């Protein structure tokens, strides 16, 4: 059986600054075509890890392979196969986005037409405006276009939607999804946890130089015992007594003075079905204000780290 080599493969990665262990034994495997979100607070080791993989910082220990190559060599062959959207990039103020992308495209063996990259990033209307006149959000779009114009196989996106309005963020998400549908791999860092949850196939949370949690959202929920909340309003005037509720609802659900009943459960399908069966047997047409809330990435992240990512 043929196995596909990882796009990114890291083992025992370490980087020290004197007594400070910025990266302290990171293991990381990212498959081709995946979006991997690496999250963590300031000083966690996230930026150092990414900079090592981009080839801008040398590691002290461990192994790192990107597309089967060592990023530490800094070779042109390696540079030609990756794309980077920096968080803080230096833009040629007097050049237009189209001119900047023409220059960027010339560095790659088989780039996309610059106008195609501009369209992907939603920057067509500003294509001939001087870069120094672009808004902050437009500059981030230009960074995104520059990262993809060379048709790279692995793309590093560092806070790619900072300064975007909600509509522009959704458009950028579609660009990322389009890239992975073509088999490209994306390593994403972001402080928008909803962005990571919406885009990432796998998520890694780094703190104190180590990966402290990793997996899909479902795997993270299961591993950390995150519970789903099922909530509805019990109208005592037209419903059977709440004491007649089935199973876990009878003994574990919390009840408020407003009539709202909440069950926190690790088996939401079982307990929701029991509630609905009870409602049907009681002749109820509906359960007012019924909501089902699964734990979000933000819930899990704050439980593990205790502060917002940065």
d(CA 35, CA 137): 22
pLDDT for residue 166? 87
Whether the CB-CB separation of 103 and 175 falls below 8 Å is answered with no
Q: Residues 6 or more apart from 124 whose CB is under 8 A from it?
A: 115, 118
The neighbouring-strand residues paired with 283 are none
Give residue-wise pLDDT tens across range 140-189.
889 889 999 999 999 999 988 887 888 888 888 988 998 898 899 999 99
pTM score, whole prediction: 0.84
Q: Report residue 152 as tokens.
A: 């790279």
Ranges in the chain, pLDDT < 70: 1-3, 87-91, 308, 310
d(CA 301, CA 310): 12
CA atoms within a 13 Å half-sphere pointing along the CA-CB vector of 138: 17
Nearest Cα to 207, choosing from 80, 91, 309?
A: 309
pLDDT for residue 4? 82
DSSP three-state, residue 221? helix
Phi, psi for 62 (deg, rounded to 5): 95, 180
pLDDT for residue 89? 63
d(CA 154, CA 151): 9
d(CA 180, CA 195): 15
d(CA 257, CA 264): 18
Give residue-wise pLDDT tens across range 48-67.
999 999 999 999 999 999 99
274-to-31, 245, 248, 278, 286 alpha-carbon distances in Å: 40, 9, 9, 6, 14
């Amino acid at each position: 059986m043929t196995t596909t080599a990882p796009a990114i493969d890291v083992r025992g990665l370490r980087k020290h600054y004197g007594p400070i262990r910025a990266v302290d034994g990171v293991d990381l495997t990212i498959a081709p075509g995946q979006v991997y979100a690496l999250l963590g607070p300031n000083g966690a080791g996230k930026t150092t890890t990414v900079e090592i993989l981009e080839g801008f910082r040398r590691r002290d220990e461990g192994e790192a392979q990107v597309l089967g190559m060592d990023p530490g060599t800094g070779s042109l062959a390696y540079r030609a196969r990756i794309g980077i959207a920096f968080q803080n990039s230096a833009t040629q103020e007097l050049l237009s986005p189209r001119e900047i992308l023409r220059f960027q495209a010339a560095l790659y063996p088989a780039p996309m037409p610059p106008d195609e990259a501009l369209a992907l990033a939603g920057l067509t209307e500003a294509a001939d405006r001087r870069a120094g006149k672009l808004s902050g959000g437009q500059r981030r779009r230009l960074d995104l276009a520059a990262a993809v114009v060379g048709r790279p196989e692995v793309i590093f996106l560092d806070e790619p939607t900072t300064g975007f309005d909600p509509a522009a963020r959704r458009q950028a998400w579609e660009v990322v999804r389009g890239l992975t549908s073509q088999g490209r791999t994306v390593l994403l860092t972001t402080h928008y946890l909803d962005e990571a949850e919406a885009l990432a196939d796998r998520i890694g949370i780094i703190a104190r130089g180590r990966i402290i949690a990793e997996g899909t959202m479902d795997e993270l929920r299961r591993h950390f015992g995150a519970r789903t909340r099922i909530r509805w309003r019990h109208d005592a005037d037209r419903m059977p007594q709440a004491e007649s509720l089935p199973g876990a609802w009878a003994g574990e659900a919390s009840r408020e003075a407003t009539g709202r009943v909440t069950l926190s459960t690790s088996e939401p399908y079982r307990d929701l079905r029991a509630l609905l069966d009870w409602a049907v047997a009681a002749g109820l047409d509906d359960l007012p204000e019924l909501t089902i809330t699964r734990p979000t990435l933000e819930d899990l992240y704050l439980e593990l780290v205790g502060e917002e990512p940065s």
